[in-house]
Chains A and B, each alone.
Chain A
Amino acid sequence: MRAFVVAVFAFLYLPIALVVLFSFNAGHHASEFTGFSVQWYGKALSNPFLVEALKNSLFIATTSALLAAFCGTAAALGLQRVGARTRALFDALLGAAIVVPGVVIGISTLVALVQLFAVVNPFLASLWPTDQPPRLSLGYGSIIAAHGLFSMALVTMIVGTRLSSLDRNLVEASSDLYATPLTTFRSIVLPQIMPAVIAGFLLAFTFSFDDFIIAFFVAGAQTTLPIYVFASIRRGVTPEINAIATIVLCASVLLVLLAQWQLGRRKPSP
C-alpha cells in the first residue's frame, strides 16, 4: 500500500517537475535535455503580450479577491444573525456558486451581461450630451464579477466555519464588561477570524489567477494569462510556455502554502 501511495504522489508531482525541469532546457525538445539555460524566461518576460496578460491577471485576481474577502466576511458575519430560513437560502445559493461548473457560470454571465448592455448602452447614449457616450462592455469588470462570485462563496464558507468554532465565552465576557459591539468585534471577533479571512483572500486570488474557462467567456477583448497560455498552447508547445507555467505554478504553490499556514494558526496572541 505504501508503494502505491508513493506511486500516486509521483504521478501527481512528476509531470509538474518535468515542466519545471524543461523550462531550464537550452534546447527545444521535450525528449532531450541539452543543457541548462534561463533563456526561455528571458524570452517569456520580454514578450509584451505575455507581460500585458500577466498584468491583467494580477489586477483582476487582486481586485476580485479583495472584493470577495470583504463581501464574503460580511456575509459570514451577517448569516449568524438571521433566521434558519434565510440562512438556508443563502447556503443554497453559495453552494450553487461553488458547485455549478465554470463553463455554465461563464456562459450564463455572458448571456446576461450582453442582454443588459443591449438595454443600458442605448439608454446611456440617449442621456449623454455629447456624441461619445460611455459604453459598457465585457472586460475587467465582468471577469472580476464572475470570479468574485465563486471567491465570495468560498470566503463566506471558510470564515463561517471559523466563526462557528469561535470561543463564545470571550464574546459574552466582552459584552458583560460593557464593551460596545464594535469594540467586541474589533478586539475579540476580528483577530480570531482574521487568519480565515486572509486564507480566503489567498485562495480567492489563486482561483482567479488560475481560472481559464470563466474568463474565456466573459473576457471580451481582454486577455488574461491563462487565456494567453491556452491560445499559445493551441498554436504549439514551446519551451517559453514551460517558463510561464513554472512561474505560475510556483506562485500558486506559494499562495496555497501561505493560506494553509494562515488556516492552521489556531489562536493569534491576544
Chain B
Amino acid sequence: MSETGYKPKPDNATGGLSSAGSQPAFPMRGSLFRKNLVTTLLLAPAALWLVVFLVLPFIAIAIFSVGERAPEGGYQAALTFAQYANLPARATAFWNTMVLAPIGALACLLVAYPVAYYLALRAPQRWRLILLAMIVIPFWTSLLMRTYAWMYILGGRGIPALLAYVGIEDLRLINTPGAVLLGIVYGYLPLMILPIYVSLERLDRRLLEASADLGATPLSTFLGVTLRLSLPGVMTGFSLVMILLLGEYLIPTLLGGGKVFFIGNALVDLFLQSRNWPFGSAIAITLVLVSVVVLIVANRISTRLSGARRVDLI
C-alpha cells in the first residue's frame, strides 16, 4: 500500500507532485546543450498535452463566457457580461449545489473521521493495510456503478417494497435530497478517509503519551492533540470532496431524479441540450472560481493551523 493511491492533497501540492531532491535520478554528462535537449524532449509531450487540452480549453471557455448565444445555438463573438449577469437564472442549481456540497462534505467528514482514526491508531497492524486497501478499492471503482447500486436499493422495488411487507406503505426514498446526500457520502467517503488517515498516521504517538502523563483527560488529549494535529488532513479531505461535489452530475441525476438539480446538471443541459454555450461557459468559469476560493481558504486554514501547532509545541 502506498500513499499515492489517491488524488493528491492540495495543501501538500509541492511535496506531493514535485520530485524533490537536488540531484536528478537520471544524470547526464556531456554538453549543456545535449542536457537541455533531453530535458526538453522528456517534458515536451506532457507540456503539449497540458497546453492543448487544459490551458487552451480553459481560455476558450473564458472567451465564450463573454460572448453571446448564436440564434441557432452555439457561440457568437461578443464582449459582454450579460452571461454573468444572467447567472441568477440558474439560482436553483447554484443554491442546491452550494447547500448540499458543504453539507455532504461535512456528513462525509463525520463518518470518515472515526474510521480514519481507527485505521491509523487502533487497528491491529496486520489488518491495517488490508482495511486501507478496502477503502481505496471503492474509490477507484466506477462511481456510476456504485451510484446505480443505490438506485436499485432505494428504488420502488428495493427498500420501500421491503418496508411495504411490514406495513409501511408509500415510502418515497429515491429522488429526494436525502437520497442525494446518501449518494454523496457513499461516493466520496474514501476520498475523505485517506487524507485524514495519512495525517493521523504521521502523528507522533509520544505526544499522546505526554498529554496523558501531564494529566489531560482522554477527551482533552483528543481535542488538544489528535484532532488538532489532524486538521490539515481534515481540511484537505474536506476541500477535495467539496470541489468534486461542486461539479457533481451523476449522483443528483440518478438519485435526485431531476428534482435535485446541481450546477453539473445545468452545465449538461446548457451544453448538450439547449446549446447555450456562452451561458454554460460563464457558469463553468464561476464554478472554477468558487473551487479556487475553496482551495485557497482551505489552504489558509491549514497553514494557520500548522503555524499555530508549531508555536504551541515550543
Does any Cβ of B come within 8 Å of A157's Cβ?
yes
The interface size bin for chain B is 35 or more
- The answer to whether B49 and A98 have CB atoms under 8 Å apart is no
Residue of A2, A12, A212 with most chain B CB atoms under a 10 A cut-off: A12
Which residue of B has the minimal Cβ distance to A213? B249
- The answer to whether A168 and B21 have CB atoms under 8 Å apart is yes
Chain A residue contacts of B151, Cβ below 8 A: 233, 237
Which residue of A has the minimal Cβ distance to B27? A175
- The answer to whether B143 and A107 have CB atoms under 8 Å apart is no
A31-B149 contact given A102-B247, A103-B268, A210-B144, CB 8 Å threshold: no
Q: In residues 130-169 of chain A, which contact B (Cβ within 8 Å)?
A: 145-146, 148-149, 152, 156-158, 160-161, 163-164, 166, 168
Type the 1/0 row for B24-50, where 1 means its CB is closer than 8 Å to any CB of A: 111111100001001111110111011
Does any Cβ of A come within 8 Å of B178's Cβ?
no
A175-B29 contact given A81-B42, A90-B43, CB 8 Å threshold: yes
Type the 1/0 row for B9-29, where 1 means its CB is closer than 8 Å to any CB of A: 010011011111101111111
Tell me the smallest distance from the CB of B294 to a CB of chain A, in Å: 10
Chain A residue contacts of B145, Cβ below 8 A: 16, 19, 210, 229, 245, 248-249
Does any Cβ of A come within 8 Å of B84's Cβ?
no
Residue of A5, A22, A163 with most chain B CB atoms under a 10 A cut-off: A5
- The answer to whether B8 and A95 have CB atoms under 8 Å apart is yes
Chain B residue contacts of A168, Cβ below 8 A: 21, 23, 25
Chain B residue contacts of A22, Cβ below 8 A: 152
Chain B residue contacts of A260, Cβ below 8 A: 1-2, 5, 133, 136
- The answer to whether B29 and A210 have CB atoms under 8 Å apart is no
A226-B136 contact given A146-B53, A213-B249, CB 8 Å threshold: no
Q: In residues 50-77 of chain B, which contact A (Cβ within 8 Å)?
A: 50, 52-58, 60-61, 64, 75
Chain B residue contacts of A185, Cβ below 8 A: 26
Chain B residue contacts of A105, Cβ below 8 A: 54, 57
Q: How many residues of A contact B (CB 8 A)?
A: 106
- The answer to whether A31 and B243 have CB atoms under 8 Å apart is no
A81-B39 contact given A87-B18, A111-B64, A249-B141, CB 8 Å threshold: yes
Does any Cβ of A come within 8 Å of B150's Cβ?
yes
Tell me the smallest distance from the CB of B83 to a CB of chain A, in Å: 13
Partner of A226, one of B24, B35, B144: B144
Does any Cβ of A come within 8 Å of B100's Cβ?
no
Tell me the smallest distance from the CB of B137 to a CB of chain A, in Å: 5
Type the 1/0 row for A184-205, where 1 means its CB is closer than 8 Å to any CB of B: 1100010000001001000100
Chain A residue contacts of B198, Cβ below 8 A: none
Chain A residue contacts of B267, Cβ below 8 A: 103-104, 107
Chain A residue contacts of B224, Cβ below 8 A: none
List the one stretch of B87-95, B155-163, B204-212, B304-312 in contact with chain A.
B155-163
Chain A residue contacts of B8, Cβ below 8 A: 95, 98-99, 157
Chain A residue contacts of B254, Cβ below 8 A: 233
Partner of A256, one of B56, B141, B295: B141
Chain A residue contacts of B14, Cβ below 8 A: 88, 91
Cα separation A168 to B21 with both chains bound (whole Å) = 10
Chain A residue contacts of B140, Cβ below 8 A: 203, 206-207, 210, 252, 255-256
Partner of B118, one of A1, A18, A171, A242: A1
Type the 1/0 row for B146-184, where 1 means its CB is closer than 8 Å to any CB of A: 101111110101100110000000000000000000000
Does any Cβ of A come within 8 Å of B125's Cβ?
no
Partner of B17, one of A156, A199, A229: A156
- The answer to whether B25 and A16 have CB atoms under 8 Å apart is no
A164-B21 contact given A101-B244, A175-B29, A229-B144, CB 8 Å threshold: yes
Please, could you name 16 A-B residue pairs with CB atoms under 8 Å apart, sorted by A? A1-B122, A15-B146, A30-B155, A93-B55, A95-B8, A101-B248, A107-B280, A112-B61, A145-B52, A145-B53, A172-B23, A181-B27, A199-B2, A203-B5, A212-B250, A256-B136
A164-B20, A257-B133, A260-B136 are known; give 13 further A-B pairs, CB within 8 A: A2-B118, A8-B114, A15-B149, A16-B138, A31-B162, A71-B46, A78-B42, A82-B43, A94-B50, A157-B4, A210-B142, A213-B250, A216-B272
Using CB atoms and an 8 Å cutoff, list the residues of chain B in contact with chain A.
Answer: 1-5, 7-8, 10, 13-14, 16-21, 23-30, 35, 38-43, 45-47, 49-50, 52-58, 60-61, 64, 75, 111, 114-115, 117-119, 122, 131, 133-138, 140-146, 148-153, 155, 157-158, 161-162, 186, 189-190, 240, 243-244, 246-250, 254, 264, 267-268, 271-272, 277, 280-281, 284, 287-288, 291, 295
The 10 A-B residue pairs with the shortest CB-CB distance in the complex, in nearest-first order: A101-B247, A78-B42, A108-B57, A75-B46, A15-B149, A210-B142, A112-B57, A78-B43, A31-B161, A263-B2
